[in-house]
Chain A
Amino acid sequence: MTKKLLVICGTGVATSTVVMGKLKTWLEQQGLSKNVKLYQSKVAEEVNHIDDYDIVVSTTLVPDSIKEKVIDGVPLLTGVGADKVYAEIKQDIEDGEAAK
């Protein structure tokens, strides 16, 4: 099953672009490119569509209503704590794979 991974930031241009690039490279390195389809947007446009995605990574503050579902992507920008974020994303990608 292909997972849908959404990357969001405030404007949908600058930081989400960087995170998209990082994730793309990382997915290729992990050999997971085929398992994930990447989407990019701004938070305001996705608040009501969040359930359309399997994994959501944000570089901005998100409303409380969707907080549970969102992974903080800021470490991917600064490198501080990035490994933990990658591990969390990997877990989410692999989730459900076993049950298939």
Chain B
Amino acid sequence: MEKTRINHFFSDQVIDFNQSFPDRNAVLQSVANRLTDVGAVKPTFGDAIIAREKTYPTGLKLNDGVGVAIPHTDADQVLHDQIGFVALKKPVTFRQMASATEVVEVSYLFVLALKTAHQQLDMLQKLMGLFSDDNAMAAFQRITTVASFVDFMTERGIE
């Protein structure tokens, strides 16, 4: 059996590859359920991020055209820090952050369950740094296993 790897933000229980979902809400609810199962969030977290995504979309289209999303909501829905990750087999449509009309075909979701975001500037900056680094994103897109995902994040200081 593969060794369990964790860092402060990622748990192998909430990292998934090659997943298929019919739409945005289905994938959001699925990650929320996983985060609830590991005790990271309240059961209402799923409804909260689905509602939040409608008002404040979090899709980001990166340089090379790949789409990521960073759904999140208020800290009162969160019990402890955790980032849920899903790589999608087929992208789902999100709206672009800060746009009323633009959409992004999202292949990677980082669902941020953050208890104290103000103290996590370093991690958030490194995560965004990854998104804006074309070479790193190319390497990132070749990852297919939980273990190499956690190693990759840890090496980049996203831990």
Q: Which A residues contact B (CB, under 8 angstroms)?
A: 9-11, 13-15, 17-18, 20-22, 43, 58-61, 72-74, 77-80, 82
Which of under 10, 10 to 19, 20 to 34, or 35 or more describes the interface residues of B? 20 to 34
Query: A15–B97 contact, CB under 8 A?
Result: yes
**Among A14, A22, A43, which residue has its beta carbon within 8 angstroms of that of B70?**
A14
Decide if A77 touches B97 in the complex (CB within 8 Å). Answer: yes
* Contacts between chains A and B (CB distance < 8 A), count: 80
Contacts of A20 in B (CB 8 A): 121
Q: What residue in chain A is nearest B59 (Cβ atoms)? A: A74
Does A78 lie within 8 Å of B121, measured CB to CB?
no
Inter-subunit contact B118/A60 (CB<8 Å):
no
Report the separation of the CA atoms of residues A11 and B73 in the bound assembly, to the nearest whole angstrom. Answer: 6
| Interface bits B91-125 vs A (CB < 8 Å: 1, else 0) | 00000111110000000000010100110110011
Given contacts A17-B118, A78-B62, A78-B63, contact A61 B131 (CB under 8 A): no
Chain B neighbourhood of A82, CB < 8 A = 132
| In the complex, B75 has a CB within 8 A of chain A | yes
Interface string of B53-84 (1 = CB under 8 A from A): 00111101111000000101111000000000
* Nearest A residue to B129, CB-CB: A79
Known contacts being A13-B117, A14-B124, is A72 close to B62, with CB within 8 Å? Answer: no
Chain B nearest CB, measured from A22 CB (Å): 7
Closest 8 CB pairs of A and B: A10-B56, A79-B132, A13-B117, A60-B56, A18-B124, A74-B98, A21-B121, A74-B97
* In the complex, chain A residues whose CB is within 8 Å of the CB of B138: none
Bound Cα distance from A70 to B101, whole angstroms = 17
